[in-house]
């Protein structure tokens, strides 16, 4: 396995993805987590130091124990990671006279293992304001650009390699080859991490942790909680109890569809709880987005806790936590990460529940979770279900939530999803859905003046939802959706398409 130490780079998850594409397991940890004892226990074949936004001379710049260079483990430093390695080992880093961002032509001057099979020159992607001015003893400069004399360097005797550019991004045309060379030629890794091996090892681990105790799991029907439930079920069978809470904020016929898929096809032990009246009553008159989120989250926890206490002998709580959530909860500076907005899932346990966590997906990315679901034979419609927010339609009905407004949104949303699937775009976009705007406009329908709601359609492409771009859907598809929504949904006379990327916008409107 490979340990990636995260110095705050926007590309740290991309490094992990690249490593796993070669069927090599890796973990991303903050410097505060990666102590020498932790690394010794982990026994990685190699360490990658990621890039980061800081200068190594900043007062609070992230650092890791310099003893990592005495462990006899190969180290690859990328951008800030290279500068940290050079500075720590006795070289010098200084502010560049000319910063370097974007494409650059890399000239390989001294052949070494990391450049094996890479032709010179080759295109790379730079993003740095500091540069290395002198190398530590034992290091040799191996590559340069017009602006950066030490674009790469190595101490081959100790297996220390530094790249000032980012090999993990697509713009570095031979970056994959460089990462492959580090993994296999330098670290001696084997291609032995597959979904089949992950299923086997996870089942054995869950059995060892849970034993004959019981696990409860909040099941939403989304891919994360479904895959987690099936994996835990394979380990402990009927000792897993899933709790599905219907909050009245779901898509059209969603509960019925999920009840059929999850119970009949997957044989899961599920308790379906209809708490829709409780949610809708509490939300009456509430229009502030943050208040809605908190109300929905708090009521969910109360309902879930009520049902969980009815399961005798439950000592564990199963959750479909994914790796991006774990990474984002760690701060590269050692403290708690800043909360951007309150999360809509059960982020923590009520103190009086005293349950231990079982999170079998906590080291997987979303695409890996889908691959895991396919490996375990979960039906395609569940594995490829688009992400759906915990507060459901509560944050897609802008402003006050009422049953009539929810019904309008459900109908419009159903048409959008149906047409997106029919056109073959459902798997190509990350999410596609309707939003009901809290405004009415004048229209003409059948020679009659109308004054009705506007539906906004949102469709985005993304890999992990950290960034997203609006989907360039065919105009005839958009026209077909608009025509159907306005003709078939009572109370709607206008439709618009959201062409905002993330950032600056978010995927959801609230």
Q: What is the DSSP letter of 338?
A: P
Question: Strand 26-29 to strand 2-5: parallel, antiparallel, or no bridges (unpaired)?
Answer: parallel
Question: Strand 469-470 to strand 448-461: parallel, antiparallel, or no bridges (unpaired)?
Answer: antiparallel
Taking the C-alpha atoms of residue 303 and residue 165, their distance in angstroms, rounded to an integer, is 50
Q: Is 166 a catalytic residue?
A: yes
Taking the C-alpha atoms of residue 375 and residue 163, their distance in angstroms, rounded to an integer, is 36
Q: Would you call 102 helix, strand, or coil by DSSP?
A: strand
The closest of 422, 421, 408, 400 to 455, measured between CA atoms, is: 408
Q: Is 79 a catalytic residue?
A: yes
Please write down the long-range contacts of 498-502, taking CB distance under 8 Å and 24 or more positions apart. Answer: 498/435, 498/456, 498/457, 498/458, 498/470, 499/470, 500/470, 501/460, 501/467, 501/468, 501/469, 501/470, 502/460, 502/462, 502/465, 502/467, 502/468, 502/469
User: Of these residues, 26, 54, 79, 242, which one is catalytic?
Assistant: 79
- Rounded to the nearest 5 percent, the helix, strand and coil shares of the chain are 35, 25, 40
User: Of these residues, 26, 54, 124, 168, which one is catalytic?
Assistant: 168
Taking the C-alpha atoms of residue 323 and residue 300, their distance in angstroms, rounded to an integer, is 23
User: Of these residues, 26, 45, 124, 166, which one is catalytic?
Assistant: 166
Write out the catalytic residue numbers: 79, 166, 168
């Amino acid at each position: 396995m490979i340990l990636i130490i995260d110095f705050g780079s926007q590309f740290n998850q991309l490094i992990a993805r690249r490593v796993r594409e070669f069927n090599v397991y890796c973990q991303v940890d903050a410097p505060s987590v990666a102590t020498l004892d932790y690394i010794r226990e982990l026994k990685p074949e190699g360490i990658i130091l990621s890039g980061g936004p800081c200068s190594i001379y900043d007062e609070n710049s992230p650092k890791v124990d310099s003893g990592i260079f005495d462990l006899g483990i190969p180290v690859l430093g990328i951008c800030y990671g290279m500068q940290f390695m050079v500075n720590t080992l006795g070289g010098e880093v200084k502010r560049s006279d000319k910063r370097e961002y974007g494409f650059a032509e890399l000239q390989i001057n001294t052949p070494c293992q990391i450049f094996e099979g890479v032709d010179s020159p080759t295109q790379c992607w730079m993003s740095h304001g500091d540069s290395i001015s002198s190398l530590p003893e034992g290091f040799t400069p191996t590559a340069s650009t017009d602006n950066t004399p030490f674009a790469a360097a190595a101490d081959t005797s100790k297996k220390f390699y530094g790249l000032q550019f980012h090999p993990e991004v697509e713009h570095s045309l031979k970056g994959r080859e460089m990462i492959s060379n580090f993994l296999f030629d330098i670290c001696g890794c084997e291609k032995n991490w597959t979904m089949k091996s992950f299923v086997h090892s996870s089942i054995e681990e869950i059995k060892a942790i849970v034993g004959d105790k019981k696990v409860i799991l909040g099941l939403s029907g989304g891919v994360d909680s479904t895959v987690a439930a099936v994996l835990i079920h394979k380990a402990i069978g009927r000792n897993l109890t899933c709790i599905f809470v219907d909050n009245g904020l779901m898509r059209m016929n969603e509960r019925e569809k999920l009840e059929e898929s999850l119970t009949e096809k997957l044989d899961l032990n599920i308790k379906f709880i209809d708490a829709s009246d409780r949610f809708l009553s509490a939300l009456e008159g509430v229009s502030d987005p943050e208040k809605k989120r908190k109300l929905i989250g708090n009521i969910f926890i109360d309902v879930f806790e009520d049902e969980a206490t009815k399961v005798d002998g439950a000592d564990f709580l199963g959750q479909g936590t994914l790796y991006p959530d774990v990474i984002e909860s760690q701060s590269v500076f050692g403290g708690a990460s800043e909360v951007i907005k309150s999360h809509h899932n059960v982020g923590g346990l009520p103190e009086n529940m005293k349950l231990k966590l079982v999170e079998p997906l906590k080291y997987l990315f979303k695409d890996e979770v889908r691959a895991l679901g396919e490996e375990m034979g979960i039906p395609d419609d569940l594995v490829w279900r688009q992400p759906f927010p915990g507060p459901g339609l509560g944050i897609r009905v802008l402003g006050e939530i009422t049953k009539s407004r929810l019904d309008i949104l459900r109908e419009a949303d159903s048409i959008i999803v149906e047409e997106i699937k029919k056109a073959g775009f459902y798997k190509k976009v990350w999410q596609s859905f309707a939003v009901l705007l809290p405004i009415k406009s004048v229209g003409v329908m059948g020679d009659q003046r109308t004054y009705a709601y506007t539906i906004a359609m949102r469709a985005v492409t993304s890999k992990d939802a950290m960034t997203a771009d609006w989907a360039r859907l065919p105009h005839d598809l958009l026209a077909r959706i608009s025509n159907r929504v306005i003709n078939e949904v009572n109370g709607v006379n206008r439709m618009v398409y959201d062409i905002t990327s993330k950032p600056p916008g978010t995927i959801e409107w609230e």
